[in-house]
Structure 1
Amino acid sequence: MSVKIEPRPDGQPGQKPKLATFVALLINSF
């Protein structure tokens, strides 16, 4: 699956939690 994560200076709410979940998924993959 291809997920594009682009950090935005807008500071959108829920951006960090999503990143954390993505990282957790990556770690769990390995």
Structure 2
Amino acid sequence: MPTYHEAMTTDLSTLTTAADKWDDMAGEFK
């Protein structure tokens, strides 16, 4: 089982990647 820190770091990485993808998509609509 991952530690609390590992879980938080993984979540942040996933959210950051998703945010980057959303930024890319938004850029296409501007």
Q: How would you bin the TM-score normalised by the shorter chain?
A: 0.5 to 0.7
Structure 1 gap ranges (5+): 1-9
Residue deviations 1:1-30, cap 9 Å, x none? xxxxxxxxx777110000000000000011
Percent sequence identity over aligned pairs: 10
Runs of 4+ in 1 over 3 A off after TM superposition: none
Unaligned stretches of 5+ residues in structure 2: 1-6
1:20 aligns with: 19
Structure with more contact order per residue of length (Cα contacts < 8 Å, sep ≥ 6): 1
* CA RMSD in angstroms, aligned pairs only: 1.9
Greater helix content? 2
Normalised to the residue count of structure 2, the TM-score between the two structures is 0.55
- Asked which structure has the greater CA Rg, the reply is 2
